[in-house]
Amino acid sequence: MRDDVLTGAQEAALISHIDGSDLSPFRFQQWEGKRLTYSYGWNYDFEHVRFAPAEPMPDWLLDVRARAAAFAGLSADDLVQALLIRYDPGAGIGWHKDRPVFEHVVGISLGSKAVLRLRRRTAAGFDRAKVTLAPRSIYHLSGEVRHAWEHSIAPMDVPRWSITFRSLSDKGRAA
- Return residues touching ligand AKG (CB under 6 A): 83, 85, 93, 98, 107, 109, 151, 153, 162, 164
Q: Which is nearer to Fe ion, 136 or 151 (CB)?
A: 151
Question: Pick from 83, 98, 114, 160: which binds Fe ion (CB under 5 A)?
Answer: 98
Closest separation between CB of residue 152 and ligand AKG, Å? 8
| Exposure string over 79-104, b if 16+ CB within 10 A, otherwise e | bbbbbbbbbeeebbbeeeebeebbbb
Give the pairing type, strands 150-153 and 114-121. antiparallel
Site stretch for Fe ion (CB under 5 A), options 28-36, 92-100, 108-116, 122-130: 92-100
Closest separation between CB of residue 123 and ligand AKG, Å? 26
Q: Residue number with the shortest CB distance to Fe ion? A: 98
Closest separation between CB of residue 93 and ligand AKG, Å? 5
Show the DSSP H helices in the chain as ranges.
8-19, 59-72, 143-147, 170-174
With a CB cutoff of 8 Å and minimum separation 6, the contacts of 145 are: 118
Q: Which is nearer to Fe ion, 8 or 100 (CB)?
A: 100
Residues that bind Fe ion (CB under 5 A): 98
